Amino acid sequence: MANASDLPRHDDTEEDPRTPRPAADPTGATGGTAPEPPAVAEPTPASAVREAPGNDGERAAAPPAGGGGGRPLTAGVAMLATAVAVVSVLVGGLLMAVGLTGHVFGAWRSPESLTPGLIGAALLGTAPGLFAVSRARAWHEVRTLVLPLAVVLVGLFAVSLLNAGDLYVARGGSVVPVLFSLGWLFVLGVLCVFALVALAWQYFAPAEPLGPRTAPLPGWSKPALAVLGSAWLGIGAGLLARPGFWAAFVPWSTHRVDAQALGVWALALGVGVLGALAEDDLTRTGAALIALPCTAVTVTVVLACRASAVDWHSGPALSLVCMVAGLLFAGASGRVLLTRTSPARS
């Protein structure tokens, strides 16, 4: 007879074969749950690191506005632009205001108040762009405005010297025009020397290779800019070289000094427009894009207020309207395109 202790206990039940057995313990133990191996982190793909927003390496490698490189803007060019801007506001505002009233005032006698008024309008219109030069960091960002500025300073000073006999300081007159013509010569001479020294200093600065263009000009604008720049450049060169012949194409009364002074400004506008076309990058023409529409607006105001002095039925008058409208459209559309491309660069 079996002993009670030999009988199986009530909890020593036989294991159900349908119950899955746990995996064998690697140490050799048969029961219990085997510990899971630690998860190994998969390496992050390099493409994910490059595409992650805000990656420090990507920000460091991204080129700055305007393509980077080039020559840093020297203090001399920034000081020159600011000094000319201040003079332009004072002298240009005076010439434009007097010209709008129909009175003739300037460094020389003009047959019509429209010419000194337009010279003052051009001076006043370029001042906002010149004030913006000091905020730039590289030379290639402002040279489309500073190089035409040098053309204006050197050209007006040369025209004044070549026609010194027509100035009030040589011909005499009331004290105010005589003093103004004397100051005109002195200030232009000082600014001319300053411009040549500042540009020489700028080009002696060490340069790095320019980076790629970040905001190229749209293809549809290039033929129009080429025509606009060539028109201003050609008319300016003609007025300077042969003022007696080309003055007949100006739709108001002018003489030699008037024609050559207007030719200097036309030549500078042509250099600026063609320079922007050569740069082929909106970020390198920021200051010029401010000066162009402002100049077009001030010139339009003078032409509108002195409309009676212009022969509007002539072909040159129609050409002048188209060229001034081209300056306004080029500057305004350039500013809009530059504003739209700024978020993409950031």
Sequential pLDDT tens for the chain (346 residues): 444 445 445 444 444 445 555 444 444 444 444 445 555 445 444 444 344 444 443 333 334 444 566 789 999 999 999 999 999 999 999 999 999 999 999 999 999 999 999 999 999 999 999 999 999 999 999 999 999 999 999 999 999 999 999 999 998 888 999 999 999 999 999 999 999 999 999 999 887 887 788 888 888 999 999 999 999 999 999 999 999 899 988 999 999 999 999 999 999 999 999 999 999 899 899 899 999 999 999 999 999 999 999 999 999 999 999 999 999 999 999 999 888 876 544 4
User: By 3-state DSSP, what share of the chain in percent is helix, strand and coil, each rounded to 5?
Assistant: 65, 0, 30
Count of Cβ atoms closer than 10 Å to residue 196 Cβ: 14
What's this model's pTM, rounded to 2 decimal places? 0.78
d(CA 329, CA 326): 5
What letter would DSSP give residue 124? H
Report yes or no: 81 and 136 within 8 Å, Cβ to Cβ. no
d(CA 306, CA 210): 46
